[in-house]
Chain A
Amino acid sequence: MTHTGRGERALALGLLALVAGPLLASAALALGAALDATAWAAWPAQPGALRALGLTLFTGLASTALAWWACAALLAQAVVRRRLDRLLRALPPLLATPHAALAIGLVFLLAPSGWLLRTVSPWLTGFDAPPPWPTTQDPWGLGLIAALVAKEIPFLLWCAATQLQRDDASRRWQAEHTLACTLGYHPVRAFWRVVWPPLAQRLRWPLLAVLAYGLTVVDMALVIGPASPPTLAVLAWQWLQDADPAIQAQGAAAGLALALVVGACAALVLAPRRPRRAVDGRRGPATMGWRPGATLLLGAYAAVLAALAVGSVSGVWAFPALWPQTWTLDAWRAVGASGATVGTTLWLAAGSAALALAWSVAWLECAPPRWDAALRPLIYLPLLLPAVLWVVGLYALGLRLRLEGTAGGLLLAHTLMALPYVLLTLSPAYQGFDPRCAALCASLGHGRWTLLWRVKWPLLRRALASAAAVGFAVSVAQYLPTLYLGAGRWSSVTTEAVTLAAGGQRSLTSAYAALQFALPVLGFALAAALGRPRRFRPETP
C-alpha cells in the first residue's frame, strides 16, 4: 500500500511547485545579488574580514562537534539506563527556548556583572564593581560556542529520539543492542557499536542543520558573540544594513562565501562513511557515557530562565548584590502595552506552523519515496543557506511580488523557514507508520480518508502535535526574516528582544526574552496535552 497513484503524483507536483517556486526564486535572487566581482574582491580586504571568517569556522565547527558529542553521550546513558522517555520529557522546554532568549539569559548569567559572579562576590572575589573581564562577547567566541552548544543539544536529542521511537527501528535496535550484550559487550559499548552507527547516519540532516546554523547565526552572535571583529555572518549583516549599494553587495558576497563554507562542510557530513572500530572485538566498558550531562544541561537552562525571570522584575540592582534592591513590574507593563507585537508573533507562529504541518503531511502522504529522497535537499535549503544570504533573496522576491511589509510576505517567509524543521521532525514517525494498518483498514472495507482520520492521524497525533510545536517555536525565534520582510512595519518579540539586548534596559530585555521563551513552551505544553496517549477505563473481565 505504499505505491503512489497518478492523482497523488499530481498533488505532490502541486505541493512541490508551492514550495520550490519561492525557494528557488529566493535562492536565485540571492545569488544574483551576491555574484558581484567587485564585491568579491572587496570584502576579504575589509579590516577584520578574514579574522571574522576564521572566528566563524572556529565557533561553528567547535559548537557543532561539542553538541554532537554531548548528544551522543547523553543518548548512550539514556538508552543503556532505559531513561530515554525521562530524558525526552525534559526536552520540550529546552527545545522551545529561542536562540536569542538563551543568549540573553546567558549574558545575564556570565557577564562581569552577571549572576554567577554576584554569587561569589564580594566574599570570595573581593570585587565591589564588575571586573573588566571579557566573559561575554569575548574575542575568541567562547561565549557564543557555549550558547550554541546548549541550544543545539536538545535539537539533536529530539531528532535522535524521533528516530529511536520509530516502531520499526526501535524494535530492531533494541534487539540488536540486547544481542550485542549477550555476545559479551558492555551495554554502553554495545550502544556505540550497534545502535549509534545507524542512528548517526540517520541524523546527518539534523547535524547539517546544526552546523549550518552555527556557521551562519546572526541573532545569537549579536547578543553573545565577539564584537570586534564579529563573526562573518554578523559582519555581512552589518554590511547589508549599509545605505551604500556597494557595501550591500559586499554583504551579499560575504553571505555567499558563508554558503560555500556550509556547502563544503555539507559535503563532508553527507559523504557516506564506514563506521570505524565496529569490529575490533573490544567488549569492556566504554568511557563515552556522560552521566551528569543531563543535569548540567537542565541546570544551565533553569539558571538562564531564573536570570530572565528575576531580571524582568528587577528595579535597582547594583553590583555585587545577589538580588535586586527594588522590584518592579514596569517591564511587563511595557510588554503588555505592546499587544500588537505579541499578537503578530502569535498569529505568525500559529499560521506558519499550521501551513508547514499541512504541507508536510500532504507531502509525506502523496510524494513517491524516490521523489521525497531526491527533493529533500531542496526543501531543506532554508536550513543550509545562511540567513543573511537567504533574506536578501526573500526580500527581493517580496519586493517583486509586492509582499514586502505585508502579512502575506511575513507568513510566506516564516512558513518557508518552519517547513524544513517540521518535515524533519515529522518524517520519522510518519514514514515509520506500520503499512499493514493500511492493508488491514482496506480489508475491512475502509477507504483512504477513514484510514487517515480514524487510524493513522490519531495514532500519530503525538508526532503531529510535536511537529506543529517545533514549527511554532521556529517561527517565534525568527529574527532576520521578520526584520527584512516586515520592513519596519511589523515587529515580533524576537526582533524586540534582540534590539533591546544591544541597549542597557536589563528588565525590559529580560521581559521580552522571557516572553520569547514562554510562547514556544506554551506551544509544546499544548502539543504534549494533545499528543497524550488515551487513558482507558480499567475494567476486569
Chain B
Amino acid sequence: MTLALDLQSLSVGDRPMLRGVTLRVAPGEILTVMGPSGCGKSSLLAVVAGTLAPPLRWTGTLTLDGTDLASLPTARRGVGLLLQDPLLFAHLSVAENLLFAVPPGPRAERHAAVDAALAEAGLAGCGERDPATLSGGQRARVALMRALLARPRALLLDEPFAALDAALRAQFRAFVFDHVRERGIPALLVTHDAADIADPVRVLRLPSAPDAPAHA
C-alpha cells in the first residue's frame, strides 16, 4: 500500500501556499514532513485526510495503493489520524474510546481487540478508567491504539510527540514507529524537531516560498 500525492497547488482563497509537491510513501515507511511555521505542513496532512475546509483548496492527485482517495469522504479513506492532543472523548471510558474505533463485528472479537490494544499500551486492566486520570504518555498511547484499531491503510501523525517531555517523547516515538513498521502501513509525520525524524533519507522539507517545489 503506497501512498502517493501529486499536489499541483494548495491555496488559501487566491493566495498560493504550496505548489508542486510530490511524495511517495511505501508500506511501513514513515516520511517526515518539516518546514517553517505556516508553510502548510498540517494542511498537507488535511489534504490526505480529506479534512481540508474552505477557504483552503487544493488541486492534484492522491492515491493509496492505486486507489483514488481524493474523491472519497474522510470516513471512507481509511486514513488514521494522531494529533498532538490525544483527543480522548471525555464521556467514554478508556476501553470505550478504543471500542469506538473497532469496526463492527462479533462482540467478543471486538472486546478482545480492545483488551489486546490495552495490553500493548501497557494499560491492561485500566479499561474502565476515566481518560482524564491517565498520564500524558498513557493518553498518547491510547490515542495511537485507537487510531490503529480502526485498521487504517495509512497513518497521519501531526506533531504527536510535541506535548511530551524529552524522556516520554523518545519512548513514545519508538512505540509509534514500531507499530507503524509492524503493521506495514505508510505514515506521514509532521514535526518541528529533527530528533523525531524516522528515517534521515525520507524527509520532505517544505519551502517557505510557495513556488519552490518539494519532492520525497
A positions within 8 Å CB-CB of B: 1-3, 434, 436-437, 439-447, 454-455, 458-459, 461, 533-534, 536-539, 541
Contact = CB atoms under 8 A, between A and B. Distances in A.
Given A442-B50, A454-B100, A541 B126 contact: yes
Given A445-B78, A455-B89, A459-B91, A439 B126 contact: no
A459 B53 contact: no
Contacts, number: 81
Nearest to A534: B91
Interface string B59-103: 000000000000001111111110101010111010000001101
Contacts of B164: none
Contacts of B106: none
Given A437-B89, A440-B87, A442-B50, 18 more contacts: A1-B74, A3-B53, A436-B85, A436-B87, A439-B51, A441-B75, A443-B74, A443-B75, A443-B77, A443-B80, A445-B75, A445-B78, A447-B75, A455-B89, A459-B91, A533-B90, A536-B93, A541-B123
Q: Please indicate which of the listed interface residues B54, B89, B124, B147 has the most CB atoms of chain A within 10 Å of its own CB.
A: B89
Contact of B73 (A440, A442, A454): A442
Interface of B: 49-51, 53-54, 73-81, 83, 85, 87, 89-91, 93, 100-101, 103, 123-126, 128-130, 133, 146-147, 150, 152, 156
Interface SS, A side = loop
A459 B90 contact: yes
Nearest to B94: A536
A434 B89 CA distance: 11
Contact of A444 (B73, B83, B100): B100
Contacts of A458: 91
B75 A539 contact: no
Contacts of A436: 83, 85, 87
A541 B75 CA distance: 33
A3 B128 contact: no
A439 B90 contact: no
A461 to B, nearest CB: 8
A440 B83 contact: yes
A536 B87 contact: no
Contacts of A541: 123-126
A541 B127 CA distance: 9
A446 to B, nearest CB: 6
Contact of B129 (A3, A454, A536): A536
A444 B89 contact: no
Contacts of B101: 444-445
B81 A443 contact: yes
Contacts of B128: 536-537, 539
B180 to A, nearest CB: 15
A29 to B, nearest CB: 40
26 contacts: A1-B51, A2-B53, A3-B53, A436-B87, A437-B87, A439-B74, A440-B81, A441-B75, A442-B51, A442-B75, A443-B75, A443-B77, A444-B101, A444-B150, A445-B75, A445-B76, A445-B78, A445-B101, A446-B75, A446-B100, A459-B89, A461-B91, A533-B91, A536-B93, A537-B128, A539-B125
Contacts of A2: 53
